[in-house]
Chains A and B, each alone.
Chain A
Amino acid sequence: MLAPLMILAVLSIVGGWLAAPAFLPGGTDYFVRFLQPVFGGVEAAGAEAEAHSLELWLAGVAVATALAGALFAYWLYLKRPEKADGLVRSLKPAYTTLLNKYYVDELYAAVVVKPLLWISTVVLWKGADVAGIDGAVNGIASGTTSIGDGMRHTQSGNTRSYAVWVVAGAIVVIAVIFFWPFGFKPVIGMVR
């Protein structure tokens, strides 16, 4: 991992000079020049002085802030390490909140991730998919099997029970032919 870091370090030193601020000697903004064909925008000559002071001011504030932070960190962690522990103890709630990144991850886990996983597992997968839809599909299959299983018993091979079925069937047919109560006729040649 060292080699990529070294390349990036070198580039970050060199890179700044591509857009050097104009108040520095030889400060030519190659980057703006590079983008000129796209954005146009050569600033008016009068505004140049004002731009310089603004540039200087912004750069100053940025450098000062960075230096102050570095100095403070140097003092706190290297010169007086016991101070840091004291701060942790005195600002305990603030410290833990910051350490846990304001608990944003935990919030997401509780509000979004866990409910979504629960719904997906219990409601959608095991409920809707396995029990609901697939249950209906398998239900049709097992229903068909049990109907067939029930019908199987009519084919017993027992001649006397066949005779009973013939008699029962004849009675039903006769009853339909003679006593059909409805208007339409399900059997050709019906009496009524």
Chain B
Amino acid sequence: MLHGGHLLSVLIFFPAVGALALLLLRGDDHKFIRIIALIVSLAEFIFSLLMVRSVPIGTTGYHLEEFLKWINQPPINYHLGVDGISLFLVILTTFLTPISILASWKSIEHRVKEFFVMLLMLEVGVVGVFLSLDLFLFFLFWEVMLIPMALLIGIWGHERRVYAAVKFILYTMAGSIFMLIGIIWLYNATGVATNWTAATFDLPTIQLMLQNGSIALGSRSEMLLFLAFFVAFAIKVPLFPLHTWLPDAHVEAPTAGSVMLAGVLLKMGTYGMIRFCLPLFPEASRRAAGWVAVLAIIGIIYGALVAMVQPNLKKLVAYSSVSHLGFVVLGIFAFHNISMQGAVYQMLAHGISTGALFLLVGMLYDRRHTFEISEFGGLATPMPKLAAFFLFVALSSLGLPMLNGFVGEYLVLLGTYQRHWGWASWAALGVILSACYLLWSYQRVFFGEITREKNRTLPDASTREKWILVTMAVVTLWMGIGSTFITTRTAAASQDVIDQVEPQRPYEAAAPNVITPSRIPPQAKPDSRNASPKIMTTERLGLR
């Protein structure tokens, strides 16, 4: 089991070591602190790339597993593993952390040491969430991540930072309480099932016990458990109508905080849905899918419409996240391999392009100390380079082909259409509306006459900013063209999740008294028809 060495442990705790080292430094040498933080996060990024080798294309299950007994009673284990889905989410995290550090180079002037310590601790929590395979360990990292994020918002944020930080932490905690209850319930169920000889928090074990029937959940308790996990994740995503913490938190957070929040923290919610809700509670997931899809579609359209009328540029980007994450949730709950891969891809693409949008909005803020769109206008004249990058990123966010946003949205819509064409049709409205709000805001900020004298002399992108933006733009373009590098690695893992929600012959499993082929109910037929194109497209898209 332990052939992979300790790469995953290194990935989780290396930033913590870096943070500890920072703590030992003198607080007034800001430049040295920044450089150390940058080196630590860059090294972490390179380490995370090593994982790619260890996750062979077309394999399911976890790789680089680490298993250590941690607490004897209750039996909590230190169990880590990575698969095709978590692989890229970890890389996204380790990629955005150095970017965030670079973005805070000039704009964070007080409590510099503490700021970078918090950013690195945040990375510890997020990477831990993506790699944990023990429910308790997962919950631990889930909560650990909250504290640095809340402090980042509450200490280095803008005017209403304390309000936003408290709201963020209470909202998320309210959800995680339900998840904690769900985790304890599952643990208890494993105890009862094994007569308390092998009670466990271990995710793969619990999954196995649920599948082979050692733990038999009634359909009502399964639904309650599903909801307990789902609510925690839905708040994090955020799914309409649990999203109101997001505009406050995003707007009040410092640029680096917004980038990490939008870039990776939201994905923890959708990752949780893929990793926990679907495989552990397949029956409940199927029953809830319609409702979840409705909420996701409302979120897509509602988020886009509300984003469109925001007078505050940062709030606009924040609401656009509600819309984009709606696509991810829709893709997950369409239970189709293509849409599932699209959902994973959209998570990554949104992390890059919305992260870049927040970076650009932060750069505008550094110059003008405002987010109000009415304060801008005609900015393309004083800063053509920044304007060009903004357009590039906006186009990627609205899903221009060849850029990253297109791949995710297209795959989600394609896969969803094959299962529920109605869902896909409604969701497609979001694509149109995203063009509306992004292009309209771009026009108001960068085109037209300069209406404020102050804007006439704003400096264009500095060398540091250009490096950040070029990096983001290159990744955006690469993800738009070289998407197969990612989809080949996510294909098998997402098919595995789908298989657990909808086993090969779901109707026999669900209704044991109708096993004879002649008596398969008619609703089984569309499914068996779907089966062959699904495999074919998987091969075409994924495994080549």
Q: Which residues of A contact B (CB under 8 A)?
A: 116-117, 119-121, 124-125, 128-129, 133-134, 137, 141
Contact = CB atoms under 8 A, between A and B. Distances in A.
Contact of A125 (B171, B241, B243, B310): B310
B431 to A, nearest CB: 16
Contacts of A137: 167, 171, 244-245
Nearest to A129: B306
Contact of A120 (B167, B243, B308): B308
Interface string B235-252: 000000101110000000
Given A133-B244, A137-B244, A116 B305 contact: yes
In order of increasing CB-CB distance, the 3 nearest A-B pairs are A120-B305, A134-B244, A121-B309
B302 interface: yes
Contacts of A117: 308-309
A17 to B, nearest CB: 33
A42 B243 CA distance: 62
Contacts of A125: 306, 309-310
Contacts of A133: 241, 243-244
Nearest to A123: B305
B388 interface: no
A129 B308 CA distance: 14
B170 interface: yes
Nearest to A128: B302
Contacts of B308: 116-117, 120
Contacts of B306: 120, 124-125, 129
A129 B170 CA distance: 18
Interface string B288-317: 000000000000001001101110000000
B40 to A, nearest CB: 37
Given A124-B302, A141-B170, A129 B244 contact: yes
Given A128-B302, A133-B241, A133-B243, 4 more contacts: A124-B305, A134-B244, A137-B244, A137-B245
Interface of B: 167, 170-171, 241, 243-245, 302, 305-306, 308-310
A84 B308 CA distance: 44
Given A137-B171, A141-B170, A120 B241 contact: no
B312 to A, nearest CB: 11
A162 to B, nearest CB: 33
A128 B244 CA distance: 11
A124 B310 CA distance: 11
A141 B167 CA distance: 9
Contacts of B305: 116, 119-120, 124
A117 B436 CA distance: 11
Contacts of A124: 302, 305-306
A148 to B, nearest CB: 14
A185 to B, nearest CB: 28
Contacts of A121: 309
A121 B316 CA distance: 13
Nearest to A125: B306
28 contacts: A116-B305, A116-B308, A117-B308, A117-B309, A119-B305, A120-B305, A120-B306, A120-B308, A120-B309, A121-B309, A124-B302, A124-B305, A124-B306, A125-B306, A125-B309, A125-B310, A128-B302, A129-B244, A129-B306, A133-B241, A133-B243, A133-B244, A134-B244, A137-B167, A137-B171, A137-B244, A137-B245, A141-B170
Nearest to B248: A134
A83 B437 CA distance: 46
Contacts of B309: 117, 120-121, 125
Nearest to B322: A129
Scoring B170, B244, B245, B308 by chain A CB atoms within 10 A of each residue's CB, the highest score goes to B244
A141 B243 CA distance: 16
Contacts of B243: 133
Contacts of B241: 133
Nearest to A135: B244
A151 to B, nearest CB: 19
Nearest to A144: B170
A133 B171 CA distance: 13
A56 to B, nearest CB: 42
Which of B243, B245, B305 gathers most chain A CB within 10 Å? B305
A121 B306 CA distance: 7
A116 B244 CA distance: 21
A116 B241 CA distance: 20
Contacts of A120: 305-306, 308-309
A84 B130 CA distance: 73
Contacts of B244: 129, 133-134, 137
Nearest to B170: A141
Nearest to B242: A133
Contacts of B245: 137
Nearest to B171: A137
B314 to A, nearest CB: 15
B38 to A, nearest CB: 37
Nearest to B306: A125
A120 B243 CA distance: 16
B326 to A, nearest CB: 14
Nearest to A113: B436
Contacts of A116: 305, 308
Contacts of A119: 305
A137 B167 CA distance: 9
A119 B309 CA distance: 10
A145 to B, nearest CB: 12
Nearest to B304: A120
B168 to A, nearest CB: 12
A94 B372 CA distance: 43
Contacts of A141: 170
A142 to B, nearest CB: 12
